[in-house]
């Protein structure tokens, strides 16, 4: 079974996708981590973020594989590295290059096929990667609500250090980072974030993660 979940940064996709994958007994496919990995390598190797061909060529020669602990980049687990503040700021630029997407998307399809299914989350999984998925969802919440949640996570010392504002950064800075990423992810030419036709839209604004999972499971069972 393939379940595809799209939505903006901070809508709770990862938490919900992980939980759903556990219940359904299929792997969780974190497609954003793959774009983060390429971005991390672009920064490490000192390439220009705007150099589409250099980024695409790097994406083509990078080996990506998920282990139980997370994403391995060329055979080495890179959990914290791909969630740094620098990667956060750069990832929307690298992910916008068509050549990068052309290298990554087939790999995502292969991973799901090899595993016999997946719960995939990202920005284009319902529209481009798995348009024929068994179930397709779009998780939404206002930018203000998403920033409020991120601010609370930061204060509690949860989540990754750099994601949409470093630890200690206040609500306003986090809100600005989220709005910037929303804009870049939604306005790019190739595979922008959008609500595809026929997707089930779930507003996570007033719901706990467990309630979102419950709601999605009931939609899956009743469809």
Judged by CB under 6 A, the stretch of 118-126, 132-140, 141-149, 214-222 that binds ligand DC is: 118-126
Provide the β-strand partners of residue 121. Answer: 5, 30
Q: Is 185 in the site for ligand DC (CB under 6 A)?
A: yes
Choose, by CB under 6 A, the member of 84, 92, 140, 160 that binds ligand DC: 92
Q: Is 181 in the site for ligand DC (CB under 6 A)?
A: yes
Q: Residue 42 has which token pair? A: 């672009």
Indicate the residue among 186 and 218 with the shorter CB distance to ligand DC. Answer: 186
Min separation Cβ 196 and ligand DC, Å: 13
Helices (H), the chain: 13-24, 31-45, 52-60, 85-95, 98-115, 143-155, 171-187, 209-222
Choose, by CB under 6 A, the member of 41, 97, 123, 136 that binds ligand DC: 123
Q: Is 124 in the site for ligand DC (CB under 6 A)?
A: yes
Q: Are 202 and 5 in contact (CB under 8 A)?
A: no
Residue 52 CB partners (closer than 8 Å, separation 6+): 97, 98, 99, 100
Indicate the residue among 201 and 218 with the shorter CB distance to ligand DC. Answer: 201
Q: Is 41 in the site for ligand DC (CB under 6 A)?
A: no
């Amino acid at each position: 079974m393939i379940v595809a979940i799209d939505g903006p940064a901070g809508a709770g996709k990862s938490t919900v996708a992980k939980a759903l994958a556990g219940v359904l007994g299929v792997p969780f496919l974190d497609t954003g981590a793959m774009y983060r990995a390429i971005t991390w390598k672009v920064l490490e190797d000192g390439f220009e973020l705007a150099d589409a061909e250099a980024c695409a060529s790097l994406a083509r020669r990078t080996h990506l594989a998920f282990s139980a602990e997370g994403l391995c980049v060329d055979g080495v687990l890179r959990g914290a590295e791909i969630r740094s503040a620098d990667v956060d700021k750069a990832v929307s630029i690298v992910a916008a290059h068509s050549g990068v997407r052309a290298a990554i998307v087939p790999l995502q399809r292969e991973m799901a096929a090899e595993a016999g299914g997946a719960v995939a989350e990202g920005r284009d999984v319902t529209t481009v990667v798995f348009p024929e998925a068994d179930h397709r969802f779009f998780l939404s919440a206002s930018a203000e609500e998403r920033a409020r949640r991120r601010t609370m996570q930061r204060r509690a010392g949860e989540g990754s250090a750099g994601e949409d504002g470093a630890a200690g950064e206040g609500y306003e800075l986090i809100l600005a980072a989220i709005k910037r990423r929303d804009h870049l992810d939604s306005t790019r030419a190739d595979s922008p974030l959008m609500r595809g036709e026929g997707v089930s839209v779930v507003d996570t604004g007033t719901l706990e993660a467990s309630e979102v999972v419950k709601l999605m499971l009931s939609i899956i069972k009743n469809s």
